[in-house]
Chain A
């Protein structure tokens, strides 16, 4: 079983829709990253959080440490948001990232 599970695997939305991507993990962590990967392959860090909620523009990330669950929300989605969104955790015992499989998001105009 994967230590980091994301859902859904694929998500198609219409421009303007509110989007939620979920991440559950089974290990103790010190922090969780949400990352974005574009078709060219490059990875960009969107958020790193260990508690509560963070907001950056139209992106909001929340985490519930007790429930071992995090969500990434995109408000007023736009076609340029189309990418793979990846959840990755830093375990308590080290600094390596353990990655989820990613969620492929497609936003249609």
Chain B
């Protein structure tokens, strides 16, 4: 069964460093998402991406964040200068279309900023 994959599973970085989180969505899906979950809190939407551009973003997704689909398979989230409060689990998801379509989640990347 096709699945969303994410690498790495755990990333530890120093405050101020850049990190890139990688996702491989399901191959025929067209909509891609990043969500995050700070420990003990609910999951929050960061950004959605369709047709090589951002379709929606939340207030969390400021200039420190960027997304890219560098090739036909990977979907990346870059945090330019990490802060302690960026420590969270980051989930990638994909769906076939954007509306009334089930989103499939990756296993997550746990980001720890020291």
Q: Which residues does A use to contact B, with CB under 8 Å?
A: 30-31, 33, 35, 40-45, 48, 50, 86, 88, 90, 94-102
Contact = CB atoms under 8 A, between A and B. Distances in A.
B44 to A, nearest CB: 7
B60 to A, nearest CB: 12
B56 interface: yes
A44 B31 CA distance: 18
Contact of B45 (A31, A44, A48, A97): A97
B89 interface: yes
Ranked 7 nearest A-B pairs via Cβ: A95-B98, A43-B105, A99-B43, A96-B45, A48-B102, A42-B107, A101-B42
A45 B105 contact: yes
Given A45-B102, A45-B104, A95-B101, 18 more contacts: A41-B37, A41-B107, A43-B105, A43-B108, A48-B100, A48-B101, A88-B43, A90-B99, A90-B100, A94-B56, A94-B98, A95-B33, A97-B35, A97-B43, A97-B45, A98-B45, A99-B43, A99-B44
B91 interface: yes
Contacts of A42: 105, 107-108
Interface string B55-89: 11010000000000000000000000000000001
Contacts, number: 65
Q: Say which size band chain B's interface belongs to.
A: 20 to 34
B79 to A, nearest CB: 19
Interface of B: 31, 33, 35, 37, 42-45, 48, 55-56, 58, 89, 91, 93, 95, 98-105, 107-108, 110
Contacts of B101: 48, 95
A95 B31 contact: yes
Nearest to B37: A41
